Structure 1
């Protein structure tokens, strides 16, 4: 997709695993049983569930009134096929200190220093944090996957957001989650944060092994394909104007790793995925180096 000297999205996917050590800071009130511990929930039918998010607070009205909401179903049949160049996505991550946090609704990793980022169509976005959703929020050709990882970036003016997402299915364990499982276990349903030390996203290249020959070549081709569309945050306030990039290659996690991610968050978020939202005639692009096979 980007040429032999460019970093593939698949590499990023692995990077993401590494990055996912932790995410943004959280308020203890989200976890405690005091006063109003839960602002929103994920269970349909719950008075604080996804269908009611837009009614819970005036500033969350975009969750129900917005026309560019995420997630969506990513369908090859309706996506505009684009032969990509390096201008569409460049990766330039750097190692820096990272922190893992239990935010109540998600386990996330936050980079405390300069972690590099991505450049999309000439705009630089700096890596801020990553977090997991289980099951996936985006679907691909109608299929829901077991986990979705979001890498969250902001531009240098801190006004525009770009999220790079990766989908996972049940299979071989993810090496990164294996590496940090003790940290995750230490924060099960607790408003805890753990310092992970220096996390280098580029080292996630070592995350997957054992693929050979034709299978390995196919994985490389898939890693160079990604969807691109304009959407929103998938949690309240559902702010729109987010540039979404979803890797077409599907990676693997073990069943026990999915269970750990779901057990770690609070019960209202054990299935922390927002339902698919209407496309509303939005343009979805499928980038790749070749669509002949």
Structure 2
């Protein structure tokens, strides 16, 4: 019985170690100073897969993101509902990751249910210009709402913006972004009301891709909201100034679609 108990305990610890290791390898890089977006540089997007062995998917993966959501490749799917959301006000922290600003959310931020799986909202970050394009058109900004299930799978919601009226969610963080523009420190925020994201839409794209930063892990469930929101030039500049790098962009180049299916889903209720 003692030997049996030992083996059971060992197996449990070993399995837990494998799960933690998998999450550590698959998750987005917290410190982005180890790579950059300089197309001509040694740490640029074309070299990400060579910088570290665990980043090999950036070079060899066949389901990489971002992609062009080309209408000729899109299959229209009509349904009543596909996503259920339960977002809640939560505490948050603004963090400079080198090439972007991440809004790291507390454990009580809530979740979404997709394909009968619950994905918990972990963080929001921004890319300028947009990483995804729609029928060849690139936008001024793209927000990524990163979710993760209990078994470590990712689901990301992308929202694109054009230049226009101020975005209310970013407006609420204006002073905080200004405060961290000259420091590398994190900034703890008051409770964030996620309803300010205002992402109501009945059209959205769905495909299987990857994280758009190293380690470029694949099998990420992407949902790109079709409705284009607005943001000011000043708000985009503030996001770029707060991120301490010399780049004019933090958008990964488009990746081959290969044989992947892209759906344009239509439903009566989203968000």
What TM bracket, shorter-length normalisation? 0.7 to 0.9
CA contact (8 A) 1:26 1:102 kept: no
CA contact (8 A) 2:161 2:229 kept: yes
Instruction: Kindly indicate whether residue 138 of structure 2 is the aligned counterpart of residue 144 of structure 1.
Output: yes
In structure 2, stretches of 5+ residues that fail to align are 1-27
Q: Equivalent residue for 1:20?
A: none
Deviation at 1:114, TM superposition (A): 1.6
Q: Secondary structure at the match of 2:173?
A: helix
**Counterpart among 161, 179, 188 of residue 168 in structure 1:** 161
C-alpha distance in 2, partners of 1:93/1:112?
11
Q: Equivalent residue for 1:180?
A: 173
Structure 1 consecutive aligned stretches of length 4 or more whose deviation exceeds 3 Å? 24-27
Q: Equivalent residue for 1:154?
A: 148
C-alpha distance in 2, partners of 1:136/1:52?
21
Q: Equivalent residue for 1:276?
A: 254
Deviation at 1:76, TM superposition (A): 1.9
Q: Secondary structure at the match of 2:177?
A: helix
Q: Equivalent residue for 2:87?
A: 93
Q: TM-score, normalised by structure 2?
A: 0.84
Q: Secondary structure at the match of 2:183?
A: coil
Q: Equivalent residue for 1:196?
A: 189
CA contact (8 A) 1:106 1:269 kept: no
Deviations 1:52-72 (A, max 9, x none): 111111111110100000000
How many residue pairs end up in the alignment? 241
Q: Equivalent residue for 1:66?
A: 61
Q: TM-score, normalised by structure 1?
A: 0.78
C-alpha distance in 1, partners of 2:267/2:196?
24
Higher Cα Rg: structure 1 or 2? 2
In structure 1, stretches of 5+ residues that fail to align are 1-23, 31-37, 208-219
Q: Secondary structure at the match of 1:63?
A: helix
Please tell me the root mean square deviation across aligned C-alpha atoms, in Å: 1.9
Q: Equivalent residue for 1:51?
A: 46
Q: Secondary structure at the match of 2:71?
A: coil
C-alpha distance in 2, partners of 1:108/1:231?
21
- 1:246–1:200 Cα change, 3 Å: same
C-alpha distance in 2, partners of 1:268/1:119?
38
Deviation at 1:199, TM superposition (A): 1.4
The aligned runs of 1:74-153 (5 Å cut-off) are 74-86=69-81, 88-153=82-147
Deviation at 1:25, TM superposition (A): 9.5
CA contact (8 A) 1:42 1:268 kept: no
- 1:111–1:80 Cα change, 3 Å: same
Deviation at 1:189, TM superposition (A): 5.4
CA contact (8 A) 2:29 2:215 kept: no
CA contact (8 A) 1:161 1:243 kept: yes
Deviation at 1:77, TM superposition (A): 2.1
